[in-house]
Structure 1
Amino acid sequence: MKTSLALLLLLTTFISCEAQNPGIIAKGAQLTLVADGYDFTEGPAVAANGDVYFTDQPNDRIVKWNAADNSVTDWMKPSGRSNGLYFDHMGNLLSCADEKNELWQIDPEKKVTVLVDNFEGKCLGGPNDLWVDPKGGIYFTDPLYERPWWNHTEPQIPERRVYYISPDKRELTIVAEGFVMPNGIIGSADGKTLYIADIKDGKTYVYAVNEDGSLSDRTLFCELGSDGMTLDNQGNVYLTGDGVTVFDKNGKQIHHIQVPEKWTANVTFGGLDQKTLFITAMDSVYTLAMNVHGVR
C-alpha cells in the first residue's frame, strides 16, 4: 500500500474535493485507494452488476473489482496485452488486445473471438479505447504507441483514425480522421453523440452520430486531450491525464478531481447504482462516491 505521504495527499485531495464540490461529488466523499502494486492500470469497464474490470497491461492481465465487497482479483491472464475494455449488450467483454493489434470479444467463460485483426490487409496501429453504441456497433480509436512486445517497428497504416464495426460485425469502416493521436472515446446513452480525444493535440471533439454509424458535425468540445473518458447522467464529460477534469455538456470546466499519481489513465462509473467513480492511475485504482451516476 502507499506510504504516509500518499495518505497525506489523499487527505489533501479530500479537502480539495470538499472545497470545490459543485454538486457532482457526494457530500463528505473521500478519494479512496482500492488497490495498488500494479505496473500500469487502464481500461475500466463496468459490468451489468456494477463490477468493474480493468487492465494491467505490462503484466498482461485483466483484473476484476467486486463492487459488493471492494475486493480485486485477477480475472484473465494472459489477456492479449489488453488495454481499453468495454462490455457489449450481450455481456461479452470487448478488449483492445494490443499484443497483435487486435480487437477481441471475450465471453463470460473467457472464450476469445477476434473481431478485428487488420484493416484492408494492413496491421492496425493498436486499438486503444472503445465504445459500444445502442445498436451494438463498436467505435474504437487507433493511435500508435510502440510496444516492446511487437515484432514490427514501422506502422503499416500511417494515419491515426477512429474505426466503426457494424452491429453485425461484418463491416469495418473509417469514421473519423485528422488526428495527431486519438485516444479516449465515449458516446451518449441515446447514441446520438460521440466524444473523441486527440491526446497529443490537446483537444477533445464532439460528433453527431448518424443513423448508419457514420459521424458528422465535428466540433471542438474543449482544449484538453484525454487518455480515457466517461459521461454521467447530467451529460458531464470526465477527461483524464492530470487527475480527472470534468466539463459540462457545453464544454465548460466545472470541476477537477486531484489524484495523487503522476498520470490518471482512465475512468468509469461502477457499483450497483453506478454512483461510484472508478479511476485507474499508474500502479493504482481509486474510487470516489458521487451524486451523479453513469449511463449505459
Structure 2
Amino acid sequence: MKKLLLPLLAAHPLLHAQLPVSPGAELTLASEGFKFTEGPAADAQGNVYFTDQPNDSILKWSVETGKTSEFLKPAGRSNGLFFTPEGKLIACVDENGELWSLDPASKEVTVLLSGYDGKLFNGPNDVWVDPGGGMYFTDPFYKRPYWEGREKPEQEKQRVYFLPKGAGKPVVAEDTLKQPNGIIGTADGKTLFIADIGSGRTYRYKIGADHSLGEKELFCEMGSDGMTLDAAGNLYLTGKGVTVFDKNGVKLGEIPVPEGWTANVAFGGKEMKTLFITAMDSLYTLEMSVQGSRGADGRK
C-alpha cells in the first residue's frame, strides 16, 4: 500500500503541534479510484462505510482485511451516513430527497422520509443520530446534474430537521442558517454542532429535553463540509484538508490532505483511533492518539 508522508506537517510544525496525532503516524492512502468520496461512518466493529455519489454507490472498508469493497449500488445517490444505536445505517439520499435506513446484513432499505409538508427536500446532506435514536439532518440545496426538472428548490429555506425515533414526520430544528451542511453531536446528546458552509461559520447549540435547539452560539469562524468529534471534545472540520479545534473553539492545527477538497471525516478501525478522511477520489487514514467520540460513531 502506498503511504504518503505529511511533508506539510514536518515543514510547518506549528500546524500540528497540539494535534492528537499518534507519534510517527503517516497519512495513508487506504483506497482510491472513485469520483467523489463522502459520508464516512463507522459501525460498532470499526468497519467504515462511505459514499461515492457520482458513481451512485456505498463502499465498505473492512476492519479485518483493510480493503474496500462495494456495499450497495445503486444507492440513491447517497451522501452523508451515520449508524443508529441499533446498528442500522442511516443514509442521506440525494437522488429523490429521502432519508433511508439500511440493514447492513440484508441490505434491505426502509425509506424513512421523502419530503416535508408535501414538498421535496432540497437534498438531505449529513445526519447525526442522537443516543435515543432521533435524527438531526441538514438539507442544503446543491443542484445536481442527475436531477431532471428540478431547477429550483421546493423548500423555501435550507433547514436542519429533527426526526424523532419512530416518527413519520420531521420537525424544523433550525432555519436561520444560510447553507447548513456538516453536523455532529456529543455522546451525551446535549450539544449539537452545525456548520453553515454558506456563511463560513460553525455554530454550537444546546439540545433541550424535548430535542429542540437552544440559541445558536458561534463556535468558530470556519464552515465545513463534514465533521466529527473525538473523545477529548475536539471538533474536526473539513474543506481544505482537516482543521481541528478544541472544545472551546481554539484552533489546534491542520492536517494537510493532498487533494483539492476534503469532504468528510470519521473515526473507525479496531480501536476507533483511526481517522478516516474522504477527499475527492480517495479514502485516507491517519492514526490518532485519541478515540473518536461515542456520539460520532456506531458504538453503543
Q: CA deviation at 1:13?
A: 4.0
* One-letter amino acid of the counterpart of residue 15, structure 1: A
1:50 maps to: 46
2:153 maps to: 155
The answer as to 2:58 corresponding to 1:73 is no
- Kept in 2, the 8 Å contact 1:18–1:27? The answer is no
User: How is 1:130-169 mapped onto 2 (pairs within 5 angstroms)?
Assistant: 130-151=127-148, 152-169=150-167
Aligned counterpart for 1:170 among listed residues 168, 171, 195: 168
Unaligned regions of 5+ residues in structure 1, if any?
A: none
* One-letter amino acid of the counterpart of residue 12, structure 1: P
Aligned counterpart for 1:186 among listed residues 184, 187, 191: 184
* One-letter amino acid of the counterpart of residue 63, structure 1: L
- Kept in 2, the 8 Å contact 1:14–1:31? The answer is no
1:259 maps to: 257
Relative contact order (alpha carbons < 8 A, sep ≥ 6): 1 or 2 greater?
A: 2
Identity %: 55
2:239 maps to: 241
Query: How far apart, in 2, do the equivalents of 1:182 and 1:62 lie?
Result: 23
Q: How many residues align?
A: 291
Give TM-score scaled by structure 2 length: 0.94
Structure 1 stretch displaced more, 227-236 or 209-218: 209-218
* One-letter amino acid of the counterpart of residue 206, structure 1: R
Q: CA deviation at 1:169?
A: 2.4
Aligned counterpart for 1:28 among listed residues 13, 18, 24: 24
Query: How far apart, in 2, do the equivalents of 1:232 and 1:13 lie?
Result: 23
In the superposition, relative to structure 1, how do residues 16 and 164 fare at CA in structure 2: closer, same or farther (>3 Å)?
farther
Tell me the secondary structure at the aligned position of residue 216 of structure 1: coil
Query: How far apart, in 1, do the equivalents of 2:170 and 2:252 lie?
Result: 37
In the superposition, relative to structure 1, how do residues 277 and 18 fare at CA in structure 2: closer, same or farther (>3 Å)?
farther
* One-letter amino acid of the counterpart of residue 26, structure 2: Q
Q: CA deviation at 1:50?
A: 0.1
- Kept in 1, the 8 Å contact 2:113–2:168? The answer is no
- Kept in 2, the 8 Å contact 1:44–1:280? The answer is yes
Q: CA deviation at 1:295?
A: 1.6
Give TM-score scaled by structure 1 length: 0.95
* One-letter amino acid of the counterpart of residue 54, structure 2: P
2:290 maps to: 292
- Kept in 1, the 8 Å contact 2:261–2:279? The answer is yes
Query: How far apart, in 1, do the equivalents of 2:12 and 2:114 lie?
Result: 43
* One-letter amino acid of the counterpart of residue 27, structure 1: P
Tell me the secondary structure at the aligned position of residue 15 of structure 1: helix
* One-letter amino acid of the counterpart of residue 114, structure 1: V
In the superposition, relative to structure 1, how do residues 23 and 11 fare at CA in structure 2: closer, same or farther (>3 Å)?
closer
* One-letter amino acid of the counterpart of residue 230, structure 2: D
Query: How far apart, in 2, do the equivalents of 1:80 and 1:98 lie?
Result: 7
Q: CA deviation at 1:291?
A: 0.4
The answer as to 2:200 corresponding to 1:205 is no
Aligned counterpart for 2:216 among listed residues 215, 218, 223: 218
The one-character-per-residue Cα deviations of 1:204-229 (angstroms, maximum 9, x if unpaired) are: 00000011111002100000000000
* One-letter amino acid of the counterpart of residue 97, structure 1: V
Query: How far apart, in 1, do the equivalents of 2:178 and 2:142 lie?
Result: 12
Q: CA deviation at 1:89?
A: 1.3
